[in-house]
A and B are shown apart, each in its own frame.
Chain A
Amino acid sequence: MSTPRQYKDLEPDEAYAFKLEDLEEDEMILNMGPQHPSTHGVLRIELKTDGEIVKDAQPHIGYLHRNFEKHAENIDYQGIIPFTDRLDYVGSMGNSLSFAFAGEKLMGIEVNERVQSIRVLTAELQRIASHLLALGTYGLDIGAFTPFLHAFREREKVLDLFEWLCGARLLYNFNWIGGVSHDLPDQWTDRVKVFLDQFEPVIDELHNLLSYNKIFTKRTASIGIIPPELAIGYALTGPNLRGSGIKWDTRKEDPYCGYEKYAFDVPVGQGRFGPIGSCWDRYYVRVEEMRQSVRILRQAIEKLPPEGDVHETVPKRVKPKPGEVYARTEAPRGELGFYIVSDGGLIPMRVKARSPCFVAMSIFREIAKGEMIADMVAIIGSLDIVVGEIDR
């Protein structure tokens, strides 16, 4: 067996998609990343630049590859859940929910109402936390430092709630197949209510501080345009798709966890400051989604069944019958799906994650051509990629 070729063994020009001899006279290859302040992780983008204009951009992925899918073929079902937490490490609740949902579908388990409500609560809180991070760092990419810290201040409060709930602040291992790890502590929902009451005005504050800022709209509202057809063609999901004006949300179209019981709107991009599907539209959809999450959370607290064992349906041994299943949920970054093939054993035969960030990254080259270097950062930020989920 030969050892696989390492990155360091590559010939110098093999590491580049653009060849020096293909360049025009004024063109230059600029290597953006993997160590760069605004690539949101270790993403490497190779830019073919003519002065400030980017002629072509080729993303190179794989710097954060952790072999998730192969790992998953060697661990029992419940053991995979901590690994799913690490895919999109700023939206862990959504990842484990998706995998647990797939596992339950495979096992034919119906979780009780209380577990469903708890999952909605945690998933929507996670959406708020994840969007706050996305919006804060987006401001940072555009050069506004202050909204970043204001957003992080609020995110901390969500993480405090999660810490109280399950002891972890980032990677929770909370959603198990058949239930959740901990029941809600006493008065937890009251604290969530307190948080929601003080958080709702912060959304307007964020609008005043950043969203309608003249410089910000000028920077973002005319770049990174994804027309609706292109968005569907590339199978974008989540805020990136809705930013292009398409009203599609897995929570509405294919409800899970009882989302059909909650009243909420699906905000879509309207092209207020420029063409529809711009970076600003995607940003705006995220801000408005936080408002909808607050609405859902309030209803979920109202409807939370007072009694119920959260471990009621957790199986002693997850040993599904042979078969295959695909389950999808609306993670903060879009439709996250898990495809599991079981051969009837204790460990899955194959696990495939359908990651929204990977799909969003694939459109990057298409929309980056012809923009400027400063816009690269704005486009990456508006797609809201997490490299952990792209590379897996």
Chain B
Amino acid sequence: MGLQRPALEAKISNLLSIPVVAGAAGALVVFALLPQIAELIREQLSANLSPTMAKLAATAIGVGAVVFLITQLPIFLIWWERKIAAHIQDRLGPMRVGWHGVLQSFADGMKLLFKEDIIADGADRFLFKLAPFLVVMGVFSAFAVLPWADGLVISDLNIGVLYVIAITSFGAIGILMAGWASNNKYALYGGMRSAAQMVSYEIPTAIIILSVVVQVGSLNLQDIIAAQQGGFGDFQNWFIFRAWGLNVIGFVSFFICGLAETNRNPFDIPEAESELVAGYHTEYSGMRFALFFLAEYGAMFFVAGVAVVLFLGGWSGPVFSGPLVFFLKILAIVFVQMWIRWTLPRLRVDQMMALCWKYLIPIAFVVLMGAAVLQVSGG
């Protein structure tokens, strides 16, 4: 019945998946112990280096760790998404490469790495090469302000929220650039749609974020989390449970905007494969294409992270606090994003715009006004 795998091949791929699964489990342990590890490193650094150098080295280590995380995370997220999609669609998904296909993403990454790097005839070579880096840069630098635990953040900016809003728009430039430089009409359409979409959806996103800022009185992400600590079971004070349901509306709107900003279904209009072939990355292949992919999953994770920080208490979770809780909460939101992607059809471009300008922006303003009124009247 069917194709039988050679026994040796099966054995090898199962053996190879042991380190991967062990690595994933190890990563969870590291996440749980992250504050202690960070404290240890900080002690060691301040004992051996001057204060300036120690701060510099700590930042460098933090950046390295986050970059490592974001580059490795898509490997897991892609496998996870394929598994979720498969089970929603009544099939098994990747099963061949490794135990339950855990090595599939590695195999795909390897394939992309070895593929020919094609630059289309008549493309603007410089912009074509630059575009994927801009997209990835926008996502990577956004992670700088994401707080993993109390005092565990690469850069504790006091205008962290503004930084988040500003740096996430970077991706739109890169995507527009990719669409323009490809010398392909489908890519151009994808780029234009993406630019229009991202610019529009930034407005309700920013207003919703502002409504939280009004309730906290600070632009610092750590302050926002600190304001949500305490209460019953450590989750009573989360913003989603406060302001008499106003913030629930805010959270849902923010989640929808997040889907749109990361170009996920039902807003995957810029790369609508049934209309625009592949949208802005039609002409990209190999590693450059992989960078767009990396950026998409990184952006998904980041938007979910911001949602958790603003509404779900960040790292101060129910029962216990720390980076592990933060990570798991983000994964829960990412799961909902994937679930929606594999369930809903895609909106049309004008409907997507109508949803933003006619519904989300007024709703966002109502939430902001409500939050302000509550804040003033409540003292």
Contact = CB atoms under 8 A, between A and B. Distances in A.
B349 A213 contact: no
6 contacts: A146-B342, A215-B345, A215-B346, A219-B346, A373-B189, A376-B275
A374 B345 contact: no
A146 B88 contact: yes
A314 B74 CA distance: 62
Interface in A193-243: 209-210, 213, 215-216, 218-219
Contact of B275 (A38, A144, A149): A38
A36 B193 CA distance: 19
Nearest to A145: B342
A139 B90 contact: no
Interface string A134-146: 0000011111111
Nearest to A137: B274
B89 A141 contact: no
A30 interface: yes
Contact of A374 (B185, B266, B344, B348): B348
Interface string B327-354: 0000000000000001111111111000
Given A38-B274, A145-B85, 8 more contacts: A28-B185, A36-B277, A37-B274, A144-B345, A149-B89, A153-B90, A218-B351, A374-B272
Contacts of B347: 215, 218-219
Interface string B84-97: 01001111000000
A61 to B, nearest CB: 20
Interface in B228-277: 265-266, 268-269, 272-277
Interface of B: 85, 88-91, 185-186, 189, 193, 265-266, 268-269, 272-277, 342-351
B344 A144 contact: yes
A146 B346 CA distance: 12
A249 interface: no
Given A37-B273, A149-B90, A52 B350 contact: yes
A372 B345 contact: no
Nearest to A53: B350
B342 A30 contact: no
A350 interface: no
Given A145-B85, A149-B90, A213 B345 contact: yes
Contacts of B276: 373
A210 B343 CA distance: 9
Given A216-B345, A219-B345, A372-B350, A143 B268 contact: yes
Contacts of A144: 343-346
A166 interface: no
Nearest to A139: B345
A266 interface: no
Contact of B345 (A31, A52, A143, A153): A143
A150 B89 contact: yes
A162 B343 CA distance: 31
Interface string A109-143: 00000000000000000000000000000011111
A359 interface: no
B349 to A, nearest CB: 6
Interface string A303-331: 00000000000000000000000000000
B350 A215 contact: no
Nearest to A39: B274
A389 interface: no
Interface in A337-390: 372-377
Nearest to A143: B346
Contacts of A139: 345
A142 B272 CA distance: 9
Interface string A27-42: 0101100001110000
A17 to B, nearest CB: 17
Given A146-B343, A375-B348, A215 B89 contact: no
A103 B88 CA distance: 47
A320 to B, nearest CB: 46
B273 A142 contact: no
A143 B88 contact: no
Given A218-B351, A374-B272, A377-B275, A143 B342 contact: no
A372 B89 contact: no
B88 A219 contact: no
| Best-buried of B343, B348, B350 by chain A (most CB within 10 Å) | B348
A270 B89 CA distance: 31
B275 A140 contact: no
A28 B89 CA distance: 39
Nearest to B268: A143
Nearest to A220: B345
A37 B90 contact: no
A376 B189 CA distance: 15
A143 B89 contact: no
A143 B350 contact: no
A149 B88 CA distance: 10
Contacts of B90: 149-150, 153
List the 10 shortest-distance A-B pairs measured between CB atoms, nearest first. Answer: A143-B346, A144-B345, A149-B89, A142-B345, A38-B274, A143-B345, A374-B348, A141-B274, A215-B345, A216-B345
A143 B265 contact: yes
A139 B345 CA distance: 7
Nearest to A217: B345
Contacts of A219: 345-348, 351
